Amino acid sequence: MAGESVLSRVVRIFEAFGPDDQALGVTQIARRAGLHVATASRLVDELVRHGWLRRDPDRRVRIGVRMWELASRASPALTLREAAMPYMEDLHAVVGHHTQLGVLEGREVLFIERLSSPEAVVNLTRIAGRLPAHVSSSGLVLLAHAPRDLQESVLAGPLAAYTPHTVTDPGRLRAVLADVRRSGVAFCRGHVDERAAGIAVPLRDADGAVVAALSVVVPNDDNARMQIPALKAAARGVTRAMRPGMPRP
């Protein structure tokens, strides 16, 4: 068994866990990973010994805290998140609805942080969850500042509709991206869910490159637009906090 092949199998074992899976049986893992049960079982046992997976008393398997710890330590996601968090807390306190931080991973937004209140409006995202880039306000911001070839590849479709308001026409999407670059904000009423409005602004690093999108999800009403200035102000604060040599909050 070549080293490459073992590593690929380990990756497939972890990829067997979807965003909704708290725990899986070894047979499920084997099936999803396309492995023999014996192979999956042997690798799972070793991953459990390393703390990367853990077993519940009923023998079902979960991701281990050790895996999370190693992944978190040196991750760029954590650095960005730590710079953004104090500003996200202030935004969340003022806006009173979901406040989130997303990065572009392929053609999707990966949400690396979300602050929510129990009474907040409906929101399809979750931490470590994804949405197609063209669907959400965060995705439109990230796509607007993405390399040209990635933009063209997304524009070439298919562009899934989450609601009748999702931008699915390539010509309109091109115009929306230009507008986001010009205005510095993506304002999307009902694109992901009819009841919610998403508002996103770019987060720039010290060199001016867009590294993430900061967004809020608020009720889809005429007051939604009022949150834009608070969001833009918070984005400036995060950029300042990411500047090298700044004391970290």
CB 114 within 8 A of CB 100: yes
15 counts as binding its own copies under rule CB under 8 A: yes
Q: Which amino acid is at 204?
A: R
Q: Could you tell me how many residues of this chain bind its own copies (CB under 8 A)?
A: 62
CA 181, CA 12: separation in Å to the nearest integer?
38
172 counts as binding its own copies under rule CB under 8 A: no
In sequence order, what are the residues at sequence separation of 6 or more whose Cβ sits closer than 8 angstroms to the Cβ of residue 133?
Answer: 104, 107, 108, 109, 139, 140, 142, 143, 146, 154
CB 57 within 8 A of CB 211: no
Planar angle of CA 109, 112, 114, nearest 5 degrees: 105
Residue window 16-55: x/- pattern of binding to its own copies, with contact defined by CB under 8 A? -xxx-xxxx-----------------xx--xx--x-x-x-
Which of the stretches 85-93, 164-172, 191-199, 200-208 binds its own copies when contact is defined by CB under 8 A?
85-93
CA 9, CA 26: separation in Å to the nearest integer?
14
Cβ closest to its own copies, residue 133 vs residue 176: 133
| In the complex, minimum distance from the CB of residue 73 to its own copies, in angstroms, rounded to a whole number | 5
Among 25, 34, 76, 229, binds its own copies (CB under 8 A): 76
Residue 117 per-residue DSSP state: -
Q: How many CA atoms lie within 13 A of 165 on its CB side?
A: 15
| In the complex, minimum distance from the CB of residue 111 to its own copies, in angstroms, rounded to a whole number | 10
Which of the stretches 8-16, 154-162, 176-184, 192-200 binds its own copies when contact is defined by CB under 8 A?
8-16
Enumerate binding residues for its own copies (CB under 8 A): 1-4, 6-11, 14-15, 17-19, 21-24, 42-43, 46-47, 50, 52, 54, 62-79, 82, 85-86, 89, 92-93, 103, 105, 110, 112, 115-118, 127-128, 247, 249
